[in-house]
Amino acid sequence: MLGLAAFSCARKMNIPAVASYHTSFVSYLKYYGFGSWERRVWKYLRWFYNNAEAIFVPSKSTIEELRSQGFDNLMEWGRGIDVSRFSPRFADQKLRQEWSPEGFPVLLFVGRLVKEKDIDVLIESCRLLHEKGFQFKIVLSVMALAR
């Protein structure tokens, strides 16, 4: 709804509106039991996003996927990791010691705890590692959703 309001406002002010597509909404449908809605959701997304002067997407593969679905004006907006700033050479050994005083490997999860993030796969992976005798620590950095 916010996006529709933004497009309407931009139209009234006679200024171009752009959009970013960085979440594969259609892939979420199967997680919530709405797989049969896929065609209709693609149709809506195509209508919505094609109202933008440009659609910024994170990768060439996303451009290919959206182009195959009839999206126009796609532009890559790379936002990868800046390895000059985020590198293992900057590892915080004090933090690692806090997380795993025994020195076990740390399995880190950063993200939202939602079904489409396949948390069950994380849990099963931990179970299998434990079952096979691997010693490790798991650290969850969970992002809360604002209400």
HSE-CB of 27 using CA atoms within 13 angstroms:
10
The alpha carbon dihedral of 127, 128, 133, 136 has a sign of negative
Q: What is the pLDDT of residues 58-105, one digit of tens each?
A: 989 999 999 999 999 999 997 777 778 888 888 889 999 999 999 999
Q: From the CB of residue 66, how many other CB atoms can be counted at a distance below 10 Å?
A: 21
Q: In what order do the strands lie in the sheet with 74-76?
A: 18-20, 54-57, 74-76
Which range among 63-67, 116-120, 136-140 shows the weakest confidence by mean pLDDT? 116-120
* pTM score: 0.61
Higher pLDDT: 1 or 33? It is 33
Q: From the CB of residue 49, how many other CB atoms can be counted at a distance below 10 Å?
A: 22
Q: What is the pLDDT of residues 13-68, one digit of tens each?
A: 999 999 999 888 898 898 889 999 999 999 999 999 999 999 999 989 999 999 99
